[in-house]
Amino acid sequence: MEQFIVSARKYRPLTFANVVGQSSIAQTLKNAIERKQLAHAYLFCGPRGVGKTTCARIFAKTINCFNPDANGDACGECESCKAFAENRSYNIHELDAASNNSVEDIRNLIDQVRVPPQIGKYSVYIIDEVHMLSAAAFNAFLKTLEEPPAHAIFILATTEKHKIIPTILSRCQIYDFNRISVESAVAYIEKIAKNENIDYEPEALHVIAQKADGSMRDALSIFDQVVSFCGTNVTYAKVIENLNVLDYEYYFRLTNAFVEGDYCTALVIFDEILSKGFEAQYFIRGLNSHFRDLLVCKDTRTASLLEVGAAIAESYKKQAEICSVAFLFTALDITNTCDAGYKTSSNQRLHIELALCKLSNAVNLRKEEQTVKTVDNIEKNKNEVIAQQQTKQESRDKIEKISGNDVKIEEIKEKTTVAARPETVSIKGFSNLTESINIETKEVKQEESNTLQMTENFTEEQLFTAWKNCAAVFAQKQPRVASAMIAAKPVCETDNVVVFNVQQIIQKQWLEDKGIARNICLYLQKELKNTTLKLDVRVDQSGDRIDAPKLYTDSDKEKHMHEKNPELANFQSVFELYDGK
C-alpha cells in the first residue's frame, strides 16, 4: 500500500516562488541572498500555518546550495540540496521553544552554535514559538544572538510578536507574515486537486478556505479530511456536511423573510437550524457575516471584499439589491448586540428569537420613518404653494399698478386668475418694462388639487383610527407625543376643528413650538382626506389643576390646611405645635 503523505507536507513549497500569499517577504529574502546581505538574526511573525517555517527552510536551503540557478533559487541537485530534501542536512537545526524553553535548553543550543558546519557555509537555527522561552532563557540567549559566529544564522518564529522582549526585537530583522487570503488558498488547493485528479466544485473549496481562516496548513488539512470523506468528487453539499458548516442557503432564506417582515418563517428556519445540531451562537455570527457580505456587495468599491465563489457571489448581489443600506446597518447592529449578549442571557434560545423578530421588524420601522418624512414633505409642498400664491398676488398687483397704460387689464387679470390649462401668462404691451412678468401656473394648480382641495367628510370613528395611527407613527421617535395623544380623546367640533386636550399649558406650548401639532394636523388631513381639518391644542380645564395656586412654603401649606379644617388650630394648641417649637 502506498504511503499517504498529508498535503501540507507533500506540497510544501520548495522555492520562494512557490510560497503562497507571502510574495513580498519571499522576494525580500531572495534579494538579500542574491546581494549577500545576510543578517544573523531574523524574526518571522504571523499567524500559524502561513509559511513561516517553510520560508525559513527554503532560506536555509538556498544559502547553502553549492550552485544556485540564474534566478537565485537552490538547484535541488547538489549534495547540500539533496540532504535538505531528504531531511538529513546538518545545516539546519529546528528547536521548538514551546517544549524547550529553559535556560538549560538555550545553553545546549549555544554550545551547538559554536561548531561550524561540515558541508555548506551556514548553520541555520530555527527557533519556533520563540515567545515561549522563559525570561532567563531569553537573557541567556541575548549575547549569542547579538554576536553569533559567522556561520550561524538564527530564524526566530512566533505567532505572538508582542510577547517578545524589546532587546530581542532590536537584534533581529523582523518580517510580518500575512494571513493567507481565501482566494490564494483556493487557488493553491485547486492546483493540488488537479494534481491528485480530484473533481471539485469551486464553492466547496471556498468553504474549506474560509474554514481555515487564513492558515494554509489548516486549509490543506481540511482538504485532506474532506477528500477522505468525499473521495475523488468534492462537492459543496458534502463539504458543508463534513465540516458542519451552515449552508449559505439558510441565510439567504432568512434575509428574504426579514425583508418581507415575515418573523414566522424566520423562527421556523431557526428551529430547523437548531434541529440540525448547529450551535445558536455560531448561527448568529454567521448571520452577522452574511449581512456584512450583503453590505459590501452594495458598492462596487467594496465588492472585492466578498470572499465567496462566483456562483454564491451572484446570489449575494441579487439579495443585496432588495436590502437597503439602512436595513443592513440595523441588521448588523441587531446581530452584533445579540452575539455580545448571548453568553449572559438566561434564555439563550429566546435571546436569538427576539433578535430575529427585531430583524423582521427592521423593515417596518423604516416604513414608519418614511411616513413621518412624507408628512414633512406635504408640509413643505404646502408652504411652496402658499409662496407661489403670494407671487401670483404680487404679479396681479403689478398689473394693476401699471394700469395707467392703455392695456386691457381686465383681460390679463382674467387670464392670470382662470388659467385652468398649463400656460404661461405674459403681459403684452410692456416690452419697454425691464422686467417681464411670467407666471407659471401649471405647478400651482396641480399642487392645489393634490394638497389643498380635499374635503371628504369623515366619521368620528375614522378620526379615532387616524388618531391612533398617527400616535403609532410618533411612538418610535417621540414617545412623549404618542402617550399624550393616546391619553387624549380627539373631539371634532364644527368646521372640522379637532380638539386635542392636553393636561398642562407647558405641553400645549411644547406641541406648538416644536411644530408637532402642525405635523399631527397634516397627518390627519392626509389620512382623512380633508384639508380643511384644523387641530386645536387645548389645555384641559376640567381637572382644575391649572389655576389652583401652588403651595410652596410650609406656612402656605399650614394656612391651606387651616382653611380646609378649622379644627386644626385646636389640635395645634392642645399639642403645642407651633413653628417647630
Residue closer to Zn ion by CB (options 74, 185) is: 74
Residue with smaller CB distance to Zn ion, 33 or 81: 81
* C-alpha cell recorded at residue 270: 431557526
Residue 1 CB, nearest approach to Zn ion (Å): 33
Q: Which is nearer to Zn ion, 78 or 475 (CB)?
A: 78
Contacts (Cβ under 8 Å, ≥6 apart) of 195: 11
Select 89 or 525, whichever has its Cβ closest to Zn ion: 89
- DSSP SS3 for 428: coil
In order of 26, 258, 261, 271, 356, the CA distances from 267 in angstroms are 50, 11, 12, 6, 7
Q: Which of 33, 41, 43, 81 binds Zn ion (CB under 5 A)?
A: 81
User: Taking CB under 5 A as the criterion, which residues in 169-198 touch Zn ion?
Assistant: none
Whichever of 65 and 133 has its CB closer to Zn ion, that residue is 65
Q: Measured from the CB of residue 16, what is the shortest distance to Zn ion in angstroms? A: 14
Amino acid, single-letter form, for residue 206 = H
65 binds Zn ion (CB under 5 A): yes
Q: Pick the stretch among 78-86, 166-174, 389-397, 544-552 that binds Zn ion (CB under 5 A).
A: 78-86
Determine if 239 is a binding residue for Zn ion (CB under 5 A). no
Closest separation in Å from C-beta 67 to Zn ion: 6
Closer CB to Zn ion, 69 or 314, in the complex: 69
Specify the amino acid at residue 324.
S
Interacting residues of 336 by C-beta distance below 8 A, sequence separation 6+: 288
Characterize 218-257 residue by residue with b for buried, 16 or more Cβ atoms within 10 angstroms of its Cβ, and e for exposed. bbbbbbbebbeebeeebebebbbebbebbbbebbbbbbbb
Segment interacting with Zn ion (CB under 5 A) among 61-69, 207-215, 392-400, 557-565:
61-69
Q: Quick one: which of 78, 372, 409, 492 contacts Zn ion (CB under 5 A)? A: 78
Segment interacting with Zn ion (CB under 5 A) among 63-71, 144-152, 367-375, 399-407 = 63-71
Question: How far apart (Å, rounded) are the C-alpha atoms in residues 235 and 499?
Answer: 69
- Alpha-carbon gap, residue 156 to 131, rounded angstroms: 9
Find, among 119, 120, 142, 118, the residue nearest to 130 by Cα.
Answer: 142
* C-alpha to C-alpha distance for 157 and 53, rounded to whole angstroms: 7
* Nearer to Zn ion (CB atom), residue 118 or residue 436: 118
Q: HSE on the CB side for 270, CA within 13 Å?
A: 27
- Cβ of residue 42: shortest distance to Zn ion, in angstroms? 21
- Residue span binding Zn ion (CB under 5 A) among the ranges 45-53, 59-67, 124-132, 142-150: 59-67
Q: Name the minimum Å distance from CB 69 to Zn ion.
A: 9
Cell of 375: 408628512
| Total of chain residues touching Zn ion, rule CB under 5 A | 5
Q: Minimum distance between the CB of residue 80 and Zn ion, rounded to whole angstroms?
A: 6
**Contact pick of 75, 110, 402, 539 for Zn ion (by CB under 5 A):** 75
Question: Is 283 in contact with 247 (CB distance < 8 Å)?
Answer: no
Nearer to Zn ion (CB atom), residue 89 or residue 100: 89
Q: Binding residues for Zn ion, per CB under 5 A?
A: 65, 74-75, 78, 81
